[in-house]
């Protein structure tokens, strides 16, 4: 058994959740915040058997696409102002960051 942890952009989370439910995968959905853009994202925890990993990865791939977005940088608070860029910049956001971890034990009460 494995635990898939997928961090996705909020814009992709509803579509991913619907697709997982449609394919009968249970997932725990957590509201999280990214460290780089300091923007909201969603983390899914999905417990699966080893044989289901590729199916879930394909569902994530189909529903979580990267895109370019203009973001206003956060001003430095007591940090190094030399590297601060005061105008919006275009960055790639979205997609998914996925971790697959072994599960030693699973209990449901």
In this prediction, residue 84 carries a pLDDT of 56
| Rounded percentage of the chain residues whose pLDDT exceeds 90 | 57
Structure tokens belonging to residue 51: 């044989």
CA atoms of 70 and 32, how far apart (whole Å): 21
pLDDT tens-digit readout, 20-50: 999 999 999 999 987 665 677 899 999 999 9
CA atoms of 55 and 38, how far apart (whole Å): 31
CA atoms of 48 and 34, how far apart (whole Å): 25
Asked if 96 and 7 touch (Cβ cutoff 8 Å), the reply is: yes
């Amino acid at each position: 058994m494995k635990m898939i942890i997928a961090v996705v952009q909020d814009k992709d989370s509803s579509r991913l959740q619907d697709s997982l439910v449609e394919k009968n995968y249970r997932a725990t959905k957590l509201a999280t915040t990214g460290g780089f853009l300091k923007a909201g994202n969603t983390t899914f925890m999905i417990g699966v058997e080893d044989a289901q990993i590729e199916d879930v990865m394909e569902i994530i791939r189909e529903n979580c696409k990267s895109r370019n977005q203009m973001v206003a940088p956060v001003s430095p608070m007591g940090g190094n102002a030399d590297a601060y860029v005061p105008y919006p910049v275009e960055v790639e956001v979205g997609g998914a960051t996925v971790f697959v971890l072994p599960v030693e034990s699973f209990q449901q009460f």
